[in-house]
Amino acid sequence: MGFGDKLLWHVSKKIVDKLLVNYNKYNEKTGEYEQKWYESLSKFVIEEANIYFDNPNDKEPEFDENEQDEIKKRVFDMFLEELDIDEDDYEENEDEVDWIRFDGIISNYLCEI
């Protein structure tokens, strides 16, 4: 793994960690733990996206478009792995979550790093 790959991995990991903290706080606040993963994640994505869309970050990410795309892909994969969501379960329920908003959340997190 080269320096650039390590940097992108570390940035992705920081974003996943932040997502997990915020997702767990959301679940604790709302009691969403009892729901199926896609139900609670869908509600979290909407709430989290509204926070960022209501208060947009004026900073520009320090990464070019290709690097941002790679980070988003890694965050997505790492986040689903952390939630123990396998590929079959994801494919079966992927339409239940607004992944475009999820992408927007990652973009906002990228501006904060």
DSSP symbols for 5-39: HHHHHHHHHHHHHHHHHHHHHHHHHHTGGGS-HHH
Sequence ranges of the domains in the chain: 3-112
Biggest distance spanned by C-alpha atoms of the chain: 42
Q: What is the pLDDT along the chain (113 residues), one digit of tens a residue?
A: 565 789 999 999 999 999 999 999 998 888 766 678 899 999 999 999 998 877 767 788 888 999 999 999 999 999 999 999 999 999 999 999 999 999 999 998 988 87
Chain centre to alpha carbon of residue 49: 10
The structure tokens listed for 85 are 């969501």
pLDDT of residue 99: 95
Whole-model pTM: value is: 0.86
Residue of 78, 76, 72 whose CA lies nearest to 110 = 72
Spatial contact of 64 and 77, defined as CB atoms under 8 Å apart: no
Which region holds residue 98: left if phi is over 0, alpha if psi is between -120 and 50, else beta? beta
Residue of 49, 46, 35 whose CA lies nearest to 97 = 46
Please state, as a whole number, how many other Cβ atoms lie within 10 Å of the Cβ of residue 28.
10
